[in-house]
Amino acid sequence: MPQVRNPILPGFNPDPSILRVGDDYYIATSTFEWYPGVQIHHSKDLANWELVTRPLTRKSQLDMRGDPDSCGIWAPCLTHDGEKFWLVYTDVKRKDGSFKDTHNYIVSAPAIEGPWSDPVYTNSSGFDPSLFHDPDTGKKWFVNMLWDHRRRPLLFAGIALQEWDPVSGKLVGPRKNIYRGTELALVEGPHLYKRNGWYYLLTAEGGTGYDHAVTFARSRDIWGPYETHPDKHILSSKDHPHAALQRAGHGDIVDTPDGKTYLVHLTGRPTTQRRRCVLGRETAIQECFWKDDWLFVKGGPVPSLHVELPAARDEDRYWETKKYSFDAGEGLHKDFQWLRTPESERIFNLDNNKLNLIGRESIGSWFEQALVARRQEHFSYDAETVIDFSPTDEREFAGLTAYYCRYNFFYLIVSAHSDGQRELLIMASEASWPVGNLVLPLSNPDSVVIPNEGKVRLKVTVRGKELQFWYALEGEQELKKIGPVFDASIVSDECGGHQAHGSFTGAFVGVAASDLNGTGRVASFEGFVYTPVKHGSDRYEV
């Protein structure tokens, strides 16, 4: 079988839940504050994946206005019971401090494309819920990690099990803490399986940083007691800091039609000596084998960069330039998402092959900001667009941004001085948690004054750790540099808010608009081009 280089889902695609229905494989991943909620990819061969749907598309299913950065949708679980698809997810409203407000829901659909039902609320006792369909009894079991704000003795108190009744839509019967994890602690991400008379419990431990791991346990009875794997952790990079794939953990397993078992898991590929994961937590895959009714990772526990899969990956597709037109008839391309709100009509529309952003709150707002972006999936890339925008003062601005969250972004904007004269400025928020203050590398009198009429071409180039903005006025062919060279690794998990085990997304590049006067001034964007670039400094890709 061909060797495929990990990850199989590059860029921000964490907490994978994998499923096979017939010859079709599906992976669901977390989307956090990005809307619509949950990404589901499809594959026939485990190597080549296509985004097919984001099922949480309407207000009745998901409204994340007010959710802080890296809250929202955590760790979805996608299953199929022989009749329909089931999707379990958490909407996190608070994550920092002693408390976590984590509300768990279930939706279902007859087909992966939908229609997906309105959510059924289950509980709020913890996060990372999973639904297990017992093939022998026909019962459905709900598991999630338990959160104990008292730390008596641990915040991550264990894995809770309870039966779920699909008729009443409620949890029924007793709830039991069936597994408290190992000394690595921070037990989460549970999935249940049944094989050869054993119930298996797969969990994540060690937090989602560099001590992350996949832990495995088994029991003859679903209620336990669960015996931990003789190796404890079947996958981890925690003791191997030079492994190509770091932060390996939070996994799920799937069997192929010919009986092979694979583990998908999140991973990070740090760059620079500061070990920053610009692409966030990605999805990788490992081949596994069974011995004495225990699961082992081939070559493990350290994850392999290259894995044998049923087919080769289409590398040409991975490196192709993506040219997006904003055709109203086709709708916003599936590569793009926005932040938090189910009421997208309040922040953008498509008309005359333009993306019109309606200026709302400031960039980084947790409520209603007009920002539309796609994932950064390569360590080096170019992105550009053309903006048509006529601001009246400094409170109206729009442009091109490399964005992670309110605490780390770079933003080239068209704005105006208080006298109405248009200008180009750069806003930067460089690891500014917890305050969120801006750095303004270009400020009056150093701003670039531009005519009050005319379109502006905006571009950002990223070459490894170096980020540079460019611009050209209408009628000009040659782009000009603007501003200094920035540290592109700032737009990473390690530089977000609450940086230790607290920033969970990844770098995006896109367009944004703000109107702090409250008048909803519109900025129009003509096209968007994302070009991956092979660069010698990118050790993972060249």
50 is catalytic: no
DSSP label of 340 = S
Would you put residue 346 in left (φ > 0), alpha (ψ -120 to 50) or beta?
alpha
Spatial CB neighbours of 65, under 8 Å, sequence gap ≥ 6: 340, 341, 366, 367, 368
Q: Which helix (H) or strand (E) covers residue 363, if one does?
A: none
Question: In angstroms, rounded to a whole number, what is the distance separating the alpha carbons of residues 296 and 288?
Answer: 6
234, exposed or middle or buried, with CB in 10 Å at 0-12, 13-18, 19+?
Answer: buried
Question: In angstroms, rounded to a whole number, what is the distance separating the alpha carbons of residues 540 and 488?
Answer: 16
Q: Torsion angle of alpha carbons 207, 212, 218, 222, nearest 10°?
A: 30
Spatial CB neighbours of 313, under 8 Å, sequence gap ≥ 6: 4, 5, 8, 47, 48
Q: Tell which residue, 135, 128, 289, has the closest CA to residue 222.
A: 135
Q: Token pair of 20, please? A: 């096979």
Q: Which of 368, 430, 526, 541 is catalytic?
A: 368
Q: Token pair of 139, please? A: 């019962």
Spatial CB neighbours of 505, under 8 Å, sequence gap ≥ 6: 12, 32, 33, 34, 69, 70, 280, 404, 405, 493, 496
Map residue 488 onto helix, strand or coil: helix
Q: Tell which residue, 260, 212, 217, has the closest CA to residue 235.
A: 212
Cα 467–Cα 350–Cα 278 angle in degrees, nearest 5: 25
Q: Which helix (H) or strand (E) covers residue 315, if one does?
A: helix 315-319
Spatial CB neighbours of 176, under 8 Å, sequence gap ≥ 6: 160, 161, 162, 223, 224
Which residues are known catalytic residues?
368
